[in-house]
Amino acid sequence: MTDTATDLLTWAGILEIIRNGNPLPPRRDERSPADWREVLTPDQFYVTRQHGTERAFSSAMCAVFEPGRYACACCGTELFDAQSKFDSGSGWPSFTQAIAPGLIAYTLDTSHGMQRVETTCNVCDAHLGHVFPDGPAPSGLRYCMNALALKKLA
C-alpha cells in the first residue's frame, strides 16, 4: 500500500507485495555465479549471491550522509537516495524508502528462527538485507542494508 499523497511504500504495502507477488523489474541481469565471481570481491559474493550478512558496524558507509545515490553493488541499479538514509544505530546503512517502486523485491524470510522480510535487487536478485516496520516517519520503514551490497554514487 502506498500513501497516495507522497507515494511512500508502507509496511502494509510490503506485506501486500509479499502476498500478491513482486512487481516486474525495469530490466533483468541474469549472470551466472561464475560471472558474478569475476566482478565481485569474495565478501560481496558471499553477501549478495549467497545471502550472507556482514558484521554490524564493519563499514564506514553507516556514517556517510553526503548527497548522492546508492546502487546495487552487483548490477549498478540505483536503489536509494541519500535523502532517505538515517542513522538507525543498527550497524548497517539504513534507509526509509527506495527511489522507485519495482527496484526491490520482498520475500518472507523465516531463517534463524525468526520472521523477517528479505530485500533483494529486483534486477539481479542480489541479497541486500532486510526491511523492518520500525523506521522513522513518514514511511515507518527501516531498510537495513549490507554495505557490501551497495555502492555509493556521487
Q: Domain with 34 in it: what CATH number? A: 2.170.150.20
Residues 2-11 as b/e (b if ≥16 CB within 10 A, e otherwise) read eeeeeebbbb
Question: Which among 62, 74, 124, 144 is annotated as catalytic?
Answer: 144
Q: How far is CA 103 from CA 9, 122, 124, 125, 131, in A?
A: 12, 5, 10, 10, 14
Share of residues in the chain with pLDDT > 90 (%)? 90
pLDDT at 54: 97
As a whole number of angstroms, the distance between CA 114 and CA 29 comes to 30
Which helix (H) or strand (E) is 85 found in, with range? strand 85-86
Here the contacts of 9-16 (C-beta below 8 Å, separation 24 or greater) are 9/97, 9/98, 9/101, 9/139, 9/141, 10/139, 10/140, 10/141, 11/133, 11/140, 11/141, 14/106, 14/117, 14/131, 14/141
On the question of pLDDT at 7 being above 90, the answer is no
144 counts as catalytic:
yes
Beta bridge partners of 49: none
Total domains present in the chain: 1
Q: What is the pLDDT of residue 4?
A: 39
Mapping DSSP to helix (H, G, I), strand (E, B) and coil, where does residue 111 land?
A: helix
Please determine, for residue 44, whether its predicted confidence score (pLDDT) is greater than 90: yes
Closest CA to 107 of 28, 19, 24: 19
**pTM of the full predicted structure?**
0.93
pLDDT band at residue 128 under the 50/70/90 scheme: very high
Write out the residue range of the structural domain in which residue 79 sits: 2-153
